[in-house]
Each structure stands twice: as C-alpha cells, then as structure tokens.
Amino acid sequence: MSNDFLLLVARILLALMFLVSGVPMITGSAGFAGYLGSLGLPMPMVLTWLVIILKVLGGIALVIGFQTRLVAWAFIAFCVATAFIGHFPADMTGFWKNIALVGGFLALIAAGPGALSVDKR
C-alpha cells in the first residue's frame, strides 16, 4: 500500500469526525449556540457559524487535500481550544481525544497531503 494512499485515508478519517458533527450543526445551530453561551463565551451565534464553517469547509478541504497544512493548523487550534474550553476537566475522554487529534494533524503537516490531493496537482 502506498504512502500516498495512506495519507488520503488519513485525511478522510480525520475529516469524517468534523464533517459528521458539522453538517447537522447547520440546522441545529441554535442549540449549539446555547451551549456556547452557557460556557460564558461571547457572541455564541457568531462562534457557532465559525465552527460550522471550519468543520464543514475544513473537512471537505482535508478530504480533497486542498491547503492541507493550513487547514491542519486551523484544526489544531480548534482541537486545543475545545479540549480546554469544552472538555477539561469534566470530560477527560473528550479532552484526550482532542489532544490525540492534534497528533494526527501534526503528522499530516509533517508528511504533507500526499500525491492524491489537490495540493499536489
């Protein structure tokens, strides 16, 4: 199995988590905004739409390998922020899941998107 194929699979698997959670947020944005408001975050509806945009458009960008390293850095910032804001200390499983995702994104940054990507075309 080629490294390029494995990098494609890695990009898809990393993106799936965000696409699967981000797409339904489009119609359920008010509920998520309420959750963000309960955390004391400012402008919860604006933050909600920024999260939706990152999850959906960033997820698609990862799948096709467009601006892969830049998108990976954005997801790293998102994962670290949500680990501490949304998970620590009440949900340590969620916290460590986010930290593990950071590791996956760092590996993707180090390896690049592979030949099966828009970035390499």
Residue-wise pLDDT tens digits, 5-60 = 999 999 999 999 999 999 999 999 999 999 999 999 999 999 999 999 999 999 99
Task: Provide the residue range defining the domain that includes 101.
Answer: 3-111
In a domain, 24, yes or no: yes
Tally of structural domains, the chain: 1
Residue-wise pLDDT tens digits, 53-86 = 999 999 999 999 999 999 999 999 999 999 999 9
- Could you tell me the pTM of the whole model? 0.95
Length of the chain: 121
| Pick from 5, 10, 23, 35: nearest CA to 101 | 10
pLDDT at position 121: 82
In a domain, 23, yes or no: yes
In a domain, 106, yes or no: yes
Residue 85 has, within 13 A of its CA and on its CB side, a CA count of: 14
